[in-house]
Amino acid sequence: MSDTHEQGSIFVDSQSYRLPETVIPQRYQIRLTPDLKTFTFAGEETVTVTVREPITEILLNAAELQIHTATLTGADGTPHHATITLDETLERATFRFPQPIAPGSAQLRLTFSGLLNDKLHGFYRSSYKDAHGNDKLLASTQFESTDARRAFPCWDEPAAKAVFQTTLVIDDALTAISNTSIVRETPLPGTGTPGTGKKEVVFADTIKMSTYLMAFIVGEFEGTEPVYVDGAPLRVWAVPGKGHLAKFGQEIGAASLEFFSRYYDYKYPGDKLDLIAIPDFASGAMENLGAITFRETALLVDDTTATRSEMERVADVVAHENAHMWFGDLVTMRWWNGLWLNEAFATFMEMLAVDHCKPEWQRWTSFAVSRAAALLVDGLRSTRPIEFPVRLPAEAAGMFDILTYEKGAAVLRMLEQYLGEEVFRVGISQYLRKHEFANAETTDLWDAIEASARQPVRTLMDTWVFQPGYPMISVTVDQQQVVLTQQIFQYLPNSADADRRWHVPIFLRAKTTSGIHTQTALMTDRELRLSLPAAPEWVVVNAGGHGFYRIRYAQELLNRLTTNVHEKLSAVERFNLVNDTWAATLAGLTPLSTYLAMLKLFREETDHNVWTAIVGSCHYLYRLLNTEQRPALQSFIRALLGPITQRLGWAPQPGEHELLSQLRGELLAALGTIGNDAPTQAEAKTRYHQYKANPSAVDRNVVPALVSILTHIGGTAEYEDFHATTKAAKTPQEEQRYLFALAGFRQPELLERTLKMTLSGEVRTQNAPYLMRSLLLNTDGREHAWAFLKQHWDEMLQQYPDNSIVRMCEGITALVTPTLEADVQQFFASHPVKQGAKTMEQHLEKLRIAVACQQREAATLMNLDTHNR
């Protein structure tokens, strides 16, 4: 029996979304003529197919297209003209032939047309203003997961790999980019009117690949000079006037591509690589083979003015997409349930590459923040396995979440550290060679790594990939033995999940009378006992911080560990200690008072990741408090941050590490906002005016702090300044910084202006949903923003990209009162989110956890003054 999903009054068999395998595409020849004036395109297509059995019809995918003709010509040369039926619900086209078609090779010829839409998927249009303020248009594509069918009729499933040859007919003044190198450009006869000429741009054949990796980009672009990696030219493309921001993106693109070629022991599979910045882009980037498209903030950056975190963002995204050229493009998951094979590996590999290219950034240490974000979601009842069945297109779109990316990458890192880096690398290389130009499943990966490691990897990893959640490891000592016990960690415990078990790689470090003892073991049962040479003075479980689990030490062990904590624990281990204790607090396992007392041990902490965990928990507590309760928390934050911010000051010292500079900015921002520190606010105002007069007078890593503090204390004058700066920004990062600062003001009339901007067209639809999310997260304006969202929900659904709605709704997690929570639950019960239903469920559960914590810790929250001593 197959599952069914209700759509209105019609029940649709989920299996009917999958195409039959009676006809297999081998090679597409696609000719497209986009018209940027009428927002339309015309297409011609010839697909060489293999007919596997006698047929009378062909089914393939098509959506929002008009298919004008369909003709199949078999080996005997006889053309068969089809009748055409389009099914918009199933996004399919059916071609029926008057007589049976015999098995063998055939050619399917189609003509069709479509719209260059404004929804940032399929073949869509993007707009921008040139240096003179003139409106300009370009056309670009975004096909993952199931939107190639909006640009040309195709077998739009990952396993239906084929070769693609593309021809684009465009205005002669424009640039065309696709997946492969240009074979030739040919002028076409024009009308004789200047500026109306056309040209035909013919591209080389691609490797055998999936439809979602195709790309067509047409517009005015300026490109860098190429750099060569393994003989393939790599360029960065941007709209005119932004080419000077391409230098760092190209450098990290070339360095990471070369790194992957060596790591995989496999040459880059494309004939060139273009990195293209698109003004309107729904996601961060897209790994189209040879033609990677990016949101501008993820590729273009001024390396003389950008903050370290902004530079890291570009490096991460570029490396991530380059990693996909092998993991995803060369070898592709068979179906969308295996998406994690693409995205988790690309996330893991981005860390490896950036850590290699920029070792001073200590990227594996900061990955702890991403791992913690995944642990937060995976500790919910509403979590899901990394891999789970996907039937419908909307379910495929919902797979692009933190569990696929960050949890997947985290468990791969855990496996790599357990098996050994070289053993793991060899297994990956063998996997790629065995499945090149084809599709694979999770079991294929484990087979390759098992062959390299010569131990049962599949049994271990199945508990992490096919089972939701993760364990909490409780730690006690019994004389010379460390006793470990695993049980599922959940913020809201569910007895039905209590019996889950994992195969847990344990990394242990202990101090005994004989010195430091290290041990690695695999925990497969509820309890594991590890023997030491003598009774330990202290014990660290999850040494190195690579494990995807939480640790709960017996109180005596915790006391020993936190005495001179900086001498015993590395930065990532200190991060995990803080984060695990905070998680236990939210779960009701540790009193809030105990957590707050522990934070005082970290007043002299200098690792910015540890402070990210601490400051993040303070922001969380801030949301739990009403206006009258906040001064006590503000006082606690000032006492906590005061010593380190006073020592760091406002300006970097000669030879200072850039990570310390980043920490300075982050702590000053917290001190001046949720700490409400008047001297910090006054100094921020002075330094902001200095910055406006002379940008080089202020450390670039402090500038975001100045903006956030002035947002917090500012009024109309500051709002007007930030609004104007958004319009005149010199870089994508500056534009983003000031745009999202508009959501942080506290005056109702200023918040109303920003709310209206989310729907007026003033803010790009790629940014508007996230600006709305920031408004919901503003503790002084969240009720105002929530009322606006409810009132304008239908408009948002119409204007915003489908995949952004659930991300916008993350802002509801800040609506932390029982009354607001009830209203939120009621609203979404009658207004379900189309894409990302599971993620929406997680947002609602996070809100439940926050309200439960608020109620459980009411006494402590009312008496925070006692923690300021």
Q: Which residues are designated catalytic?
A: 321
How far is the C-alpha of 632 from the C-alpha of 630, rounded, in Å? 5
Query: 715: which residues sit within 8 A by CB, 6+ positions away?
Result: 745, 747, 750
How far is the C-alpha of 668 from the C-alpha of 683, rounded, in Å? 10
Decide: 504 and 493 in contact? Cβ < 8 Å. Answer: no
Tokens of 774: 């920031």
**For every residue of 713-773, which 3-state class applies, written as one string?**
HCCHHHHHHHHHHHHHCCCHHHHHHHHHHHHHCCCHHHHHHHHHHHHHCCCCCCCHHHHHH
Helix 339-357, helix 442-453: angle, nearest 10: 50
Decide: 477 and 512 in contact? Cβ < 8 Å. Answer: no
Decide: 523 and 503 in contact? Cβ < 8 Å. Answer: yes
Calculate the alpha carbon distances from 568 to 60, 206, 516, 545, 549 in Å. Answer: 61, 54, 11, 13, 20
User: Residue-wise over 196-230: b if at least 16 C-beta within 10 A, else e?
Assistant: eebbbbbbbbbbbbbbbbbbbbbbbbebbebbebe
Q: How many CB atoms lie within 10 A of CB 862?
A: 12
Q: 545 in helix, strand or coil?
A: coil
**For every residue of 43-79, which 3-state class applies, written as one string?**
EEEEEEEEECCCEEEEEEECCCEEEEEEEEECCCCCE
How far is the C-alpha of 73 from the C-alpha of 229, rounded, in Å? 42
Tokens of 529: 């006992």
The bridge status of strand 331-333 relative to strand 291-295 is unpaired
Residue whose token pair is 């290699």: 356
Q: How many CB atoms lie within 10 A of CB 378?
A: 23
Query: 38: which residues sit within 8 A by CB, 6+ positions away?
Result: none
Q: What value, to the nearest 5°, has the Cα angle with vertex 585 and ends 579 and 588?
A: 145
How far is the C-alpha of 441 from the C-alpha of 341, rounded, in Å? 8
Decide: 47 and 134 in contact? Cβ < 8 Å. Answer: no
Alpha-carbon torsion angle 604, 607, 608, 609, nearest 10: -120
Q: What value, to the nearest 5°, has the Cα angle with vertex 169 and ends 167 and 171?
A: 145
Tokens of 394: 């909307």
Query: 177: which residues sit within 8 A by CB, 6+ positions away?
Result: 215, 216, 217, 218, 221, 237, 274, 276, 291
How far is the C-alpha of 327 from the C-alpha of 287, rounded, in Å? 10
Decide: 24 and 49 in contact? Cβ < 8 Å. Answer: yes
How far is the C-alpha of 233 from the C-alpha of 254, rounded, in Å? 9
Decide: 409 and 372 in contact? Cβ < 8 Å. Answer: no
Q: 681 in helix, strand or coil?
A: helix
Query: Alpha helix locations (H) across 625-747?
Result: 630-648, 658-672, 678-693, 703-713, 716-728, 732-741
Chain centroid to CA 342: 13
Residue whose token pair is 């923003």: 785
